[in-house]
Structure 1
């Protein structure tokens, strides 16, 4: 492949090198251009001038169209000749004017090719079939763009202060070509690498932006859901805060059944009165061989279902003057089950009771009952009308007393739970070979649940209150006997006299109930003549 070059100057200053690659298949045209670049053909036959482009100006430049040169004789576009003498014919129009940077022969018409040529500044398809394209710019297109941008005067000639001249030209040898190719390849490779790096960064940035957008969107949804849930919870709380709660009492007497209802807050009461069976039983809800007391038990289950803590039920049958209270056994179990249920979140459709206002302060209670027999389930509905009851002052006082009893039971349960939470037990152990201190204090090797000080013989409970303190000591006496003391802040609160056995081995125990402040220090002291001491101390907190 043939390559040639131009070293170009603009306004007398070097502008750079342009390298051209000449196309194959046009031997006459490319040889003419190559020889004019090298100047190897000597003088022209018609012009008598050297057949060489060196020092030849670009005499016509039209920005956005083309740059023309090659008139080495007159330098104005009217001279020049080919290496074959005069003009030569158009060789082929196989290549098109399809882009910028193409080399094409300038002519005065058909078959009038000489030495003049032009470089396209853009695609010029209207020149196809009129001018022969024979090469293209391989490198230095930036120089061409600078040449294209010079100021021109009349006839598209560069201004005198901005002349564009071919200072030197020639053929690129293989080694130079290879070097140039390698350099160009390196540049292209570096450019591709840089583009790839930029694209990778852009992809990462897009991915990060997409991820951030997704996170923000997800967070917005979560926040909206949280607000909706808070709003729903507020509505539910307000609904339940407004909704009254009732105490229901069922009783039976002489095969008649009565239901009483009391508003816990206002103390208003409603009652069915003692009803015969035909008041609440029909052919579809009657149970075979069931008594009024049986229905009381069944209705109690419907009332207790999923909200047992709000129902207090008692029944009695005056036939034998016997009585029954569900608060002792069955209702205790219901309360335990109901205490673990959040009734504010119960679906109303799942409840087996419904209270409806009929107007004029009259209520209607509907109970749904499900009875399972073997593998079958039988459902029935019972409807009761409750009329308002005028209350005496004594009735209101009785209702308030019932509320106080319930409040007392709740307080008692809460107090017991708090006592369980506050129960504290401090334990300490001393095993061989630790023994005792200089003044006979037992040194503790392990202490649990205590605020222990740096000196190993003192123990602080860290919590004020009543404690049951128990001390056990096993030791071997060297001489006679000794006294064992339990001290609080250095003062003896209990002691025991210990006598040695035949082999000097003995044991002692101390126990008392005592009120301790949070910073009181417990110490156990034995005789100095004791050896092989093992001891344990337990301080169990009692009460609140």
Structure 2
């Protein structure tokens, strides 16, 4: 009986962290490589040029005002209360101006702008929604889809489905520094019931806070912008204390998840939640006028 001594390629071995999106991208890449004829040999200069990362151009500017709300977790809330009513005496943190790469990721940028410019009466806006998780020294998350009365986002029904989430080219930029704006896919909406909703849209986003890069977010989330102004506000948000479970609680949670206990996922929903309510108090687009022409010489 003959045995093959050819080693199995490492890239084909199963990996515990593979997601459905990773498998889809892998299948697309493999199918394409098998169906196309061998590529012609490229010169070293051409190969180097093709390996260079894309050069994103800022096409749009969005502002977001962040505030602290002292009353959101008070026990005397009524059913009609929401962020706009509970946080009328909030403390402003400051304004963050974001530059978006509309030429590189048109669908992602268009959807993000729609969520910033939508009418507040439809609840389809980032305005008056929570920063729901902060990972100290790394990034914070905002725009979780769910119930507006809980400070979450309800995307409009006509928001386009983001086909860029399964396009490998969309993952070319990295989370290499503080102030990177990214569409959150790896952490996006822990509740599976939300994800399986036909009206589900990818609207949750993250902003890296530094001080260092976040390479573990690369190839899992779509970088579509950068912080142009207000990095001090981002740093202030990152410094807000969060709920951190003890190591013993984490171990019990892992054990419960291993045995299929659904309560483990519910318990993790409050991990890294800020202990002081921070939210997006306003957002919109900044129109930048064209610079004046230089005077003509006689």
Q: TM-score, normalised by structure 2?
A: 0.50
Task: Tell me which protein shows more strand as a share of its residues.
Answer: 1
| Equivalent residue for 1:32, pick from 99, 104, 111 | 111
Runs of 5+ in structure 1 lacking a partner?
44-48, 179-544
Helix, strand or coil for the counterpart of 2:172?
coil
**Equivalent of 2:123, from 50, 53, 70?**
50
SS of the residue aligned with 1:138? strand
CA displacement at 1:115 relative to structure 2: 1.1
Asked whether 1:171 is paired with 2:288, we answer no
The 3-state SS of whatever aligns with 1:36 is: helix
Q: Give the equivalent residue in structure 2 for 1:4.
A: 62
Secondary structure, counterpart of 1:174 in structure 2: coil
SS state of the match for residue 126, structure 1?
Answer: helix
Report the equivalent of 2:181: 103
Task: Tell me how far 1:87 sits from its aligned partner.
Answer: 5.0
Alpha-carbon distance in 1 for matches of 2:138, 2:112: 21
For the 8 Å contact 1:19–1:140, the answer to whether it is kept is yes
In structure 2, runs of 5+ residues without a counterpart are 1-58, 70-89, 189-194, 244-269, 292-298
After superposition, the CA RMSD in angstroms is 3.0
Q: Does the CA contact (< 8 Å) of 2:117 and 2:283 recur in 1?
A: yes
In structure 2, distance between residues paired with 1:77 and 1:25:
30
Displacement of 1:106 after TM fit? 1.3
Residue aligned with 1:60, SS: strand
CA displacement 1:86-126 (0-9 Å, x = unmatched): 85331511211111111111125899861110001231122
What SS does structure 1 have at the residue aligned with 2:224?
A: strand
Whole-angstrom distance in 2 between the partners of 1:95 and 1:127: 11
Matched residues in 2 for 1:29 and 1:21: separation? 13
- Residue deviations 1:191-242 (CA, integer Å, cap 9, x gap): xxxxxxxxxxxxxxxxxxxxxxxxxxxxxxxxxxxxxxxxxxxxxxxxxxxx
CA displacement at 1:127 relative to structure 2: 1.7
1:22 corresponds, among 78, 92, 100, to 100
- SS of corresponding position for 1:58: strand
User: 2:225 aligns to what?
Assistant: 135
Distance 1:85 1:170, change over 3 A: closer
| Match in the other structure for 2:214 | 124
Residue 64, structure 1, aligned to residue 137, structure 2: yes
Q: How far is 1:39 from its partner?
A: 0.9
1:88 aligned partner: 162
**Alpha carbons of structure 1 residues 107 and 117: separation in structure 2 relative to 1, 3 Å:** same
Give the C-alpha shift of residue 82 in structure 1.
6.7
Find the partner of 2:274 among 158, 166, 172. 158
Q: Across the two proteins, how many residue pairs are aligned to each other?
A: 169
Q: 1:114 to 1:166 in 2, by over 3 A?
A: same
In structure 2, what is the equivalent of residue 233 of structure 1? none
Shift of 1:10: 2.1
CA distance in 1, matches of 2:223, 2:201: 12
List per-residue Cα deviations over 1:390-421 (Å, max 9, x = no partner).
xxxxxxxxxxxxxxxxxxxxxxxxxxxxxxxx
Q: Secondary structure at the match of 1:8?
A: strand
Checking the alignment, whether the CA contact within 8 Å between 2:111 and 2:159 is kept in structure 1 is no
The CA distance in 2 between the partners of 1:168 and 1:36, in whole Å, is 12
Q: 1:71 Cα shift? A: 2.4
Higher gyration radius (CA): 1
Contact 1:82 1:88 in 2 (8 A): no
Relative contact order higher in (CA < 8 Å, ≥ 6 apart): 2
Q: Quote the Cα distance in structure 1 between the aligned partners of 2:277 and 2:157.
A: 26
Q: Deviations over 1:434-487 (max 9, x none)?
A: xxxxxxxxxxxxxxxxxxxxxxxxxxxxxxxxxxxxxxxxxxxxxxxxxxxxxx
Taking a change above 3 Å as real, the CA distance of residues 60 and 87 of structure 1, as seen in their structure-2 partners, is farther
The match for 2:17 is: none
Q: TM-score, normalised by structure 1?
A: 0.29
Is contact 1:107–1:114 with CA below 8 Å preserved after alignment?
yes
User: In the TM superposition, what are the counterparts of 1:300-339 in structure 2 within 5 Å?
Assistant: none
3-state secondary structure, aligned to 2:113: helix
> What is the CA–CA distance in structure 2 between the aligned matches of 1:5 and 1:29, rounded to whole Å?
17
- Paired with 1:138 and 1:27, the residues of 2 have a C-alpha distance of 19
